[in-house]
Structure 1
Amino acid sequence: MGGPSWQFKKFADETLRAWFELRWKDKVFGGFTNSASINGDKLNTIQYFLLLAGQHGGLWVSLAIKPANFKASKRDDLNRMGSYIAPMAQSDADASPEEMSSGDLETGRAYGARVAGIARRLAEPARA
């Protein structure tokens, strides 16, 4: 309802000790959201995640996929929601998970690969 689920908020509240100890400083953060409406206040949810990452001193990974915003664009194109911060998806309220847009799913997969790739690069020893 216009933000992250209560389960995620509970998780976020439980990160207080990690915050005090700066345990997640310079760690890689990423997130995504889905709602039944085209807008669905998705940006508010992503901003919540981004702020939490910032509070922990984390490194947020952006989407890096240009939006599908041309007349010829289709529902199953990558980044059809036009987000730059993180993947946003839309699923009809009465649809099953199997009916989710293949473009939204592929956007999520590509983002996951980007987050993992950046985490791997940051974990590599510095080269002289």
Structure 2
Amino acid sequence: MVVAYHSGFGHTATLAAAVADGARSAGATVTQIQLAEVTEDDWQTLDTADGIIFGTATYMGNVSAGFQAFAEQTGRRCQQGTWNDKVAAGFTNSGSKSGDKLNSLVSLAVFAAQHHMHWVNLGLGPGWNHSAASESDLNRLGFWLGAAAATDVDANPDEVHPSDVATCEHLGRRVAEVTRQLVAGRVAAQAVTAGA
């Protein structure tokens, strides 16, 4: 599994590490790729992974320019179907509580759909939305399409909200589990086909 992310100020990198930790806790082998510096080996890793979890900061209501530059480099892979049927998911961060993060998650999901990937949602109900709830709840910002975080723009990378970090860990675990199920199903289906 790959966590492929663009981080301008380190906050999204903190979330990427949490996603990777969550996936590892579910037994996945994980490689993190910082999209500002994609090497030929990184492309090979992306092309051979069973799943890719995309991460980006939200800037001006959408994915970062760095993430978009990466996305535009995948055009040939899109045409050739290189990532067809891989598992995909996404996460994002911005300074505001909303900050149009949903638009970034939609952009990530559409990008994955263009590659014919299988999108995995967050799989959590909303947190922090009733009188007995708190900002320590998982999914405190109430997103479903992917994981979202709100970090003060002047905060250090190690000051990302603990609930947002835990929500990203949850996303990593969930995607690793779904990927394992999908891969096992493919193996079982091939065995049935071979025996027919």
TM-score range, shorter chain: over 0.9
1:12 pairs with 2:77: no
- Matched with 1:126 is 188
- Matched with 1:66 is 125
**Counterparts of 1:44 and 1:80 in 2: how far apart (Å)?**
18
Gaps of 5+ in 1: none
Per the normalisation by structure 1, the TM-score is 0.94
- Matched with 1:40 is 99
Greater mean deviation of Cα atoms: 71-80 or 41-50 = 71-80
Specify the code of the residue in structure 2 equivalent to 1:74.
S
- Matched with 1:25 is 84
Partners of 1:63 and 1:86 within 8 A in 2: yes
Deviation at 1:97, TM superposition (A): 2.0
Specify the code of the residue in structure 2 equivalent to 1:90.
A
Instruction: Give the ranges of 4+ consecutive aligned residues of structure 1 lying more than 3 Å apart after TM superposition.
Output: none
- Matched with 1:51 is 110
Identity of aligned residues (%): 41
Partners of 1:75 and 1:101 within 8 A in 2: no
> Which of 149, 160, 184 matches 1:100?
160
Structure with greater helix percent: 2
Specify the code of the residue in structure 1 equivalent to 2:109.
L
Per the normalisation by structure 2, the TM-score is 0.63
- Matched with 2:151 is 91
Q: Count how many residue pairs are aligned between Structure 1 and Structure 2.
A: 128
**Counterparts of 1:83 and 1:21 in 2: how far apart (Å)?**
32
Gaps of 5+ in 2: 1-59
Structure with greater strand percent: 2
